[in-house]
Amino acid sequence: MWHPTATGYSAPRMLNGIAMAIQSLHPYSWDSVYKAAVLEPENLMLEQRIEVAQEALLTRWLELTQRHGNIIEIRAIVEASEALRALKRQWLRKHRAA
């Protein structure tokens, strides 16, 4: 799923009082915030992490589509966005039922 191409950029974002930089050592600049959302162990922070990851994905998608960027990364962004939407739906169902 992850392909080694990267153009790093930094977009600091506050999450629970901690500034998170989207730029990372991962293959894609948005990968670290995406993984933080998907692997979040605490339900209290999950919704925030999903929002941060969705913002990072959208920002990068806009950059790539405006300059006809890497189609492999664009596909990975679409897949990651779909996974985050499914995760958020699952989280919302769980919290509405509680």
pLDDT in tens, 36-79: 999 988 778 899 999 999 999 999 999 999 988 789 999 999 99
Q: Tell me, yes or no, whether 2 lies in a domain.
A: no
Domain count, the chain: 1
pLDDT of residue 5: 34
Q: Judge contact between 37 and 87, C-beta under 8 A.
A: yes
Range of the domain at 53: 15-97
Q: Please state, in angstroms and rounded to a whole number, the distance separating the CA atoms of residues 12 and 69.
A: 22
> Does pTM top 0.75 for this prediction?
no
Q: Tell me, yes or no, whether 72 lies in a domain.
A: yes
Q: Tell me, yes or no, whether 34 lies in a domain.
A: yes
18 pairs with which residues across the strands?
Answer: 15
